[in-house]
Structures are given as C-alpha cells and as structure tokens.
Amino acid sequence: METATQSHVETLARLKSNLESCILGKSAEIELLLTAMLAGGHVLLEDVPGTGKTVLIKALARSIHGQFRRIQCNPDLLPTDITGVSIYHPKEEKFLFRSGPIMTNILLVDEINRATTKTQSALLEAMEERHITVDGDLHELPSPFLMLATQNPIDFEGTYTLPEAQLDRFMIKLSLGYPNEAAEKQMIASQSRVHPMEALQAIIDTNQVLEMQEQVRQVHMDDAVADYLVTISRKTRDHQAVFLGASPRATLSLVLASKAYAFLHGRDYVIPDDIKYLAPFVLGHRMILQMEARMDGVTVASVLRTIFEGVRVPVRLEK
C-alpha cells in the first residue's frame, strides 16, 4: 500500500520548515497543527495574547496557497455575519446568496468565546457537515476547510464558555505558550528589518492537501492498536474522577489524528506511541472532571496518565 511516499515526507518537512520560519521554537505545536490539517480536523488554540497564534494560522494558509478569512468575535456578531445572507435582487426578482467569511479554506475565528452562544452555534453545522444552511438552502464549503479558533484562557469578562457540543467538534486543542530565551532572541534578530511572513512562499496547493488527506485515511491501524485506542477512550468514561468522558466522535478523531501523525512521520501504519502522544490533545478538552476531583487537585492530565498506566500496550513479537 502506497501512502506516505518519500515525496510527501519531503514536502511536509518543507511545509513544517516554512511555518517554523515564522514561529520560532514551536516545532511540536506546528506538527500538531499539520496533523489536524492532514486529518481534516479543526483546532482550538487556547493561549494568552501575543504568542503568535494568528501569525501561525496565516502562515499555514499562505503555505498551502489557500484562501484565508478572519472573523473577529464579539457580542454584537450575528450568525449571518459568519454564514452570509440572502439579499433580494430587484432586477432579477429573486433572492441571491451573498456568502460570508466562512466560505474559505482556512478560517480564523479569533476569540471565539467572545461571541454569543447563538453565534457560536452557527459554526456547528460547518464544522461537522462542511456545509451551511441559509434560508433553507444548503451551501457547500470549499474543500479543504479548516477552522482554527482562538480563545484567551485568563480573560473571562464579556466571554461565553464554549459548550461541550462545540468543544467536541475540535479535533485538537493546543497552546503555543511563550518561546524560550534563545527563540525569543532569535525572533528579535529575524524581525529587526522585515517580518518573515512577507517572504513566505507557498509550498503546496489545496489540491495536494486533499490528496494527502485521502492518503492519510489509507494508513493502516492494526486491530490490536485499534483495541488499545478504544480501551483508552472508553476508560475516560468509566474513571471515577470523570463526569463526562470522551465521545465516540472523540474516538474517531483520535483514529484520524493518529493516522495523520504517522503519515507526517513517513509511516504507513499507526503505533501505540502515536495514540499515547496525541490522546491529551484530542481527548483532554472533551473530558469534564467531577467537582470533588477538581477540588482535590485532580487534572485531566493526571487522569489520562492513570488510564495509560492501566492499559496494556500491544506488543508485536517477531520471531
């Protein structure tokens, strides 16, 4: 089975290098972003302002030669400001659809938790079904479609908490964090005259992204590895410290993310380490802990660690 060819491995390495030229010292986070893109999933970036979230997303759009749109969320934002609206055309005597910013390849939804719950819900259909419905008419979104939303974890004034149904539609949740000292010094030197974004060139186009997404689905997952993944997912629902565990959608997201991560690293098969590494980013934001557990200092990370320790890792013995 031909999947992660040498050509694709080299192309993805160039794509990663392209993004690293704009966001220094964040190799692991860039890999997670590319994993979500290859898997066709959406990403929630939760971080304080000024860490480079918007720059990273714009760099990704430019690197794949994709159309980029941005939505700045606030309480006044209406659902039609996202999806678009039908406007009556007197000359043609009919309503014509004027598309909103959601009709794009890369959609940045900045500070998503500042939009009202009604406006947030306008994104649910697009995130899951890859189409929108306006005035009863269905409109397909461009392909590929990747939504990247940001939120500030320390600013609660004028914000609306994302409901579990919406969090469950994000494949990966990650945080960039502050750069280390060396990266921050390098950042000063690299941006002293011109921003690296201005010299950024496209590495691939959207058709190549679609091709790689199709090949990701062909990556092999052994039955034993699949059992390992399902066991981890199910144990998040049975753990005594967990009020709400990972959904079946979360299980499928972890499958696709693991295949994409393997593909990104030049393999046409998934190994248990892929699942163990990605589980906190794919399952973590979907888990809600019991109130008593949170008061006792239990965290999602600690719960996942105990689950990993209690699940036997499949090992293949070669004769």
Report the C-alpha dihedral over residues 181, 183, 186, 188, rounded to 10 degrees: -70
* Average per-residue pLDDT for the chain: 88
pLDDT at 317: 46
Asked whether the bond before 179 is cis by omega within 30 degrees of 0, the reply is no
- 34 pLDDT higher than 90: yes
pLDDT at 113: 87
pLDDT at 158: 62
| Cα–Cα distance measured from residue 199 to residue 181, given in angstroms and rounded to the nearest whole number | 25
User: Where does the pLDDT of residue 237 fall: very low under 50, low under 70, confident under 90, or very high at 90 and above?
Assistant: very high
pLDDT at 155: 65
pLDDT at 182: 86
Mean local confidence (pLDDT), 45-59: 85
pLDDT at 316: 67
**What is the identity of the amino acid at 154?**
I
Mean local confidence (pLDDT), 16-25: 87
- Separation in Å, CA 288 to CA 97, 113, 116, 196, 211: 40, 18, 22, 40, 36
Q: Would you give the DSSP letter of residue 51?
A: S
Share of the chain above pLDDT 90, in %: 58
pLDDT at 134: 85
Q: Identify whether the C-beta of residue 30 lies closer than 8 Å to the C-beta of residue 20.
A: yes
Q: What is the pLDDT of residues 246-298, one digit of tens each?
A: 999 999 999 999 999 999 999 999 999 999 999 999 999 999 999 999 999 99
Please tell me the number of Cα atoms within 13 Å of 159 on its side-chain side.
15
- 124 pLDDT higher than 50: yes
pLDDT at 195: 72
Mean local confidence (pLDDT), 123-147: 89
Whether the predicted model's global pTM rises above the 0.75 cut: yes
pLDDT at 4: 52
- 154 pLDDT higher than 80: no
Mean local confidence (pLDDT), 134-146: 89
**By C-alpha distance, which of 282, 29, 21 is closest to 176?**
29
